[in-house]
Amino acid sequence: MNSSRRALAIWATVAAFLGIAILQPSAYGLEFPATTSLTLPVVVEPDSDEVFLTTKTDLEIAPIEAALFSELSSEATVSASAMSLVSSASASVELARSPEGAREVAKALMAEKYGWGEKQYACLDGLWTKESRWNYRSSNKRTGAHGIPQALPATKMEVVGTDWRTNPVTQISWGLRYIDIRYDTPCGAFAKFKRTNWY
């Protein structure tokens, strides 16, 4: 009898979830307007209750039509260089999801943006290996620090990007910026870390 009660409870739970899923409104169920309306300019005669639409000549209408068409056009052009930048950024994010890739991306970013060389990279590697082992998902449950640089609070990284939870390049960029502003170099930050166990 116990197993039949358990089966009944399971099926009741399944039925409840199905009912909720079916009855709960979704974005598809919302009524969005299917058409767009335009508000045309009107003129009200001072001593009359009548309202008139303003009339425009063809020369006055042409710029309005052109502006309206350009706003409603669904076509857009994207330059090859812009596409290349997006592709490169996307590749960097995917590469940085592994500790080895994150090291590679950080080394390139620090050389490009800050002019830091091998000595500074060695300090950065030592610092972030101790902090997070270069794991972009790393978090300290006690303090709330998060990411490769262990930002505390983690929301500080929003100055670089709102995708800091999932984007290791955002975390690396924020960490390098923080080190530059606060300690001048990764070796300065690592020296502080060695003294106090935080930076």
Whether 92 is covered by a domain: the verdict is yes
Beta bridge partners of 44: 51
Most confident range (mean pLDDT) of 15-19, 50-54, 88-92, 150-154 is: 150-154
**pLDDT of 106:** 98
Mean pLDDT confidence for 42-47 = 60
In angstroms, rounded to a whole number, what is the distance separating the alpha carbons of residues 160 and 166?
A: 13
For residue 27, name the pLDDT band (cuts at 50, 70, 90). Answer: very low
pLDDT at 37 over 60: no
pLDDT at 30 over 70: no
In angstroms, rounded to a whole number, what is the distance separating the alpha carbons of residues 176 and 171?
A: 9
Domain with 169 in it: 86-196
Return phi, psi of residue 123, to 5°.
-65, -45
pTM: 0.60
Whether 143 is covered by a domain: the verdict is yes
Residue with tokens 């940085």: 96
Contact 138, 132 (CB under 8 A): yes
Contact 186, 123 (CB under 8 A): yes
Whether 31 is covered by a domain: the verdict is no
Mean pLDDT confidence for 71-100 = 75
- How many domains are contained in the chain? 1
Give percent above pLDDT 70 in the chain: 68
Whether 10 is covered by a domain: the verdict is no
For residue 17, name the pLDDT band (cuts at 50, 70, 90). Answer: confident
For residue 42, name the pLDDT band (cuts at 50, 70, 90). Answer: low
For residue 160, name the pLDDT band (cuts at 50, 70, 90). Answer: very high
For residue 193, name the pLDDT band (cuts at 50, 70, 90). Answer: very high
For residue 77, name the pLDDT band (cuts at 50, 70, 90). Answer: low
User: 33 vs 25, 27, 30, 123, CA distance in Å?
Assistant: 17, 13, 10, 58
Whether 122 is covered by a domain: the verdict is yes
For residue 49, name the pLDDT band (cuts at 50, 70, 90). Answer: low
Distance of CA 1 to the CA centre of its chain: 53
What mean pLDDT, rounded, does the chain reach? Answer: 82
**pLDDT of 130:** 97
